[in-house]
Structure 1
């Protein structure tokens, strides 16, 4: 059920900046390599044109229908956020947090997002499709994500009829999403393969198996911090269990490659690897100004070192959180003001020194 709006969105978002979503805990299956799993469903409401052809009035109606369908007793506690009224900074903040897409953040007109407590799921309204239902869990948890997403989908469909064709399945704005409408994504941390110059092996394998490799924020984004998202490219003609199994098998193969590379780096060049980790940690804990890109790169090395036992007194959940909290919008929300790039770099360095002050390299 949607929470009563006891505080305005600006205040709520500022509070949210001081917390972390459950998907950043770092305690899920295969979490040394797999940051998170996500299952997303594209759905459109029967009787309405696709978003790209809908007037502002129709898009308002879609927002209201979706809001009403999620506001029934017995459902999880959620927050309704009118994205149309948010500032560009707040839109970027929600995008950095993986709660909305770049498309929803940067488009205009009536649109919204509904966010569950703990950020385990969110429902985007009037993105490319009327509804984008997503569930996000820590580690390699595709079955759990799918189960929760399927239940949420059924809850909405009980009160809102979907556009569905007997032959083509769920109808979507983009033909590649037609059929099941499912997009399965796994975020992987692959510094070993990047250091060993084997990351192209992942791209080649994914391409052969109809999977896409994207950056931290999905399509068109860069692989900051050695994060790569592996996801299915097509949905038509395959069932949800088949797609889940397909993605899971490929992810486990990539996880195996990354672990073997890390083991080799540790066995054949421990001193060199230890030095890289120590230098990265030293910069993070002593720098007085540091960019977002450099921070992501150095945190990536430290995270690998932590998983290999080269860093002590530090929880992986803290590192996962720092990847997000040091992004531009998060940093400004934490500081309580908008900052130019130079001031952000100083604030980021101060924040990193504070958060990492009690940790050390073994």
Structure 2
């Protein structure tokens, strides 16, 4: 599948002094660029659709701190879900009960962390900011009663209230620091459990609105850039091996989505922390081995075309932005001459791509193109 790209009637590529392009420039350069965005991932499981949820941390433990695995892994996240005993799940609770649950959770969280930041309702712009900071999910329904998001001032911990479950506690950290994220999230949750009674059974463990989430009620996730495996026909065998360990590779939207720009979410609700860390090490090693075997001249050409596309295009769609940054991130990790070399800058660009969700498509695409050029200093 290639992206739908507008091609104007002018056959020539015309650059303006401002660095922007004539709206009819596209025929020559986009003939090849139509093949670039898919990153050679035209077959499942890497045939991506739209959107992203990268979970790049912004605290001192996050963006700006490069780690030993940051060429492949972007960030790690630990999320716990819990529900209050004696209360219906958010999906079936009425307004009165949802508000009661919200107030109980907020009061308990304030006892654990007196300086917690509380958001019960937000404007569209504020919602975009929370999305960019990875403090809420794209599907969080603010318009429904009893919804809230709470987070610590350093944003190391965030709590969603009445999403799919009553409570979702999340901690995000640098790529190779999932142990720290686990310690942070679990410690916060344990202090919260001293003040709230969670729904639990001896047979099923912690109860969830989805039966598949019952038990530990915990998910480990690492966001990875698998551009090498995206070109490797043996990737299916690699992912099957992970699946045997109860670890899945999914798109950035999670379940049901497929990777875009070779950015993927590797996660588990069943494997232990040690098993998950071992799987991430295995996947990182395979990715690096595959990258080393790729034809560098061919990839350099495609990365160059992607860079020119960013420089010239007046509008960039969300999926194309991720695909392009997928190439540029590979070039930066490989330290190719003539390309942005700062992984932090590229990851910051990734972190801003899903903004403007409430703007009309043409405006959002234009603003996204300008933002990418500014962030990448193009």
- Could you tell me the TM-score, scaled by structure 1's length? 0.81
1:79 aligns with 2:117: yes
CA distance in 2, matches of 1:274, 1:76: 51
The verdict on how the C-alpha distance between 1:218 and 1:97 changes in structure 2, with shifts beyond 3 A counting, is: farther
Structure with the largest fraction of helix: 1
Whether 1:230 and 2:266 are equivalent positions in the alignment is: yes
Cα RMSD, aligned residues only:
2.4
Task: Quote the Cα distance in structure 1 between the aligned partners of 2:156 and 2:106.
Answer: 18
SS in 2 for 1:159: coil
Matches within 5 A, 1:304-343: 304-311=330-337, 314-327=341-354, 330-331=355-356, 339-343=359-363
Match of 2:12 in 1: none
What is the deviation of 1:231?
1.2
Aligned counterparts of 1:31 and 1:125: Cα–Cα separation in 2: 31
1:284 aligns with 2:330: no
Query: Partners of 1:331 and 1:322 in 2: how far apart?
Result: 14
Once the two structures are TM-superposed, the CA of residue 340 in structure 1 deviates from its matched residue by 1.7
Matched residue count: 320
Q: Counterparts of 1:1-362 in structure 2 under 5 Å?
A: 21-22=58-59, 23-25=62-64, 27-72=66-111, 75=113, 77-82=115-120, 85-87=121-123, 90-91=126-127, 94-95=130-131, 97-105=133-141, 108-234=144-270, 243-265=272-294, 269-311=295-337, 314-327=341-354, 330-331=355-356, 339-357=359-377
Contact 2:220–2:269 (CA under 8 A) maintained in structure 1 = no
Secondary structure of 1:305's partner?
Answer: helix
Secondary structure at the counterpart of residue 39 of structure 1: strand
d(CA) in 2 for partners of 1:106, 1:255? 37
Structure 2 CA distance, aligned partners of 1:198 and 1:148? 37
Displacement of 1:106: 7.3
Instruction: Give the superposition deviation at 1:179.
Output: 1.9
Cα distance in 1 for partners of 2:264, 2:252 equals 6
Q: Distance in 2 between matches of 1:141 and 1:48?
A: 35
Could you tell me whether the CA contact under 8 Å between 1:296 and 1:323 is conserved in 2? yes
1:230 CA displacement:
1.3
SS in 1 for 2:78: strand
Cα distance change on mapping 1:117 and 1:286 into 2, 3 Å: farther
Is 2:116–2:153's contact at 8 Å kept on the other side of the alignment?
Answer: yes
Q: Residue 13 of structure 2 aligns with which residue? A: none
User: Which string of whole-angstrom CA distances, capped at 9 and with x for unpartnered residues, describes residues 196-240 of structure 1?
Assistant: 344433432232222222211222333122111111144xxxxxx
Conserved in 2, the CA contact under 8 Å of 1:43 and 1:162?
yes
- The CA deviation string for residues 68-122 of structure 1, in whole angstroms up to 9 with x for no partner, is 112137x37432111xx33566546534543223442477332111122343221
Give deviations 1:146-165, integer Å, cap 9, x for gaps: 11111100121111121222
Matching residue of 1:238: none
- Cα distance change, pair 197–119 in 1 and its aligned pair in 2 (3 A): farther
Structure 1: gaps (5+ residues): 1-18, 235-241, 333-337
Aligned to 1:335: none
Matched position secondary structure for 1:122: strand
CA-to-aligned-CA distance 1:215-269 (integer Å, 9 cap, x gap): 11222333122111111144xxxxxxx611111111111111110011111xxx2
Q: Is the 8 A contact 2:81 2:218 kept in 1?
A: yes
- Between the two structures, name the one with larger relative contact order (CA 8 Å, sep ≥ 6): 2
